[in-house]
Amino acid sequence: MKIPDKVKVGAHEYDIKFELDPSNDNDSCFGCISYKKLLIGIDPNYKQSQQEETFFHEVLHAIYHQLGLEDTEKSIQSIAHSFYEVLKDNNLLK
């Protein structure tokens, strides 16, 4: 799957960058989202499958934010992982 340069969620378009905030020293962080900057960052140092799942993870954060729903890392991670797995297992990613 080719991760796009931009993704529209609701009324907003998020830029996708393959970088993380250099001050982020959390080794378990694969990506991040800035609602103010409309930016999704994905760590380029991980394998393609991890980057793809991270993309879905961060988009889910954007969707929850857009809808005004409360999210937790655990709920987002569970849904993102499961959704990515379904797409991958059924050859729905191009």
Map residue 80 onto helix, strand or coil: helix
Full-model pTM: 0.89
DSSP state of 5: S
What pLDDT is attached to residue 26? 58
Concatenated DSSP letters of 6-61? EEEETTEEEEEES---TT---TT--EEEETTTTEEEE-TTS-HHHHHHHHHHHHHH
**Per-run averaged pLDDT (10 residues), the chain, 94 residues:** 96 94 65 95 94 96 95 93 95 88
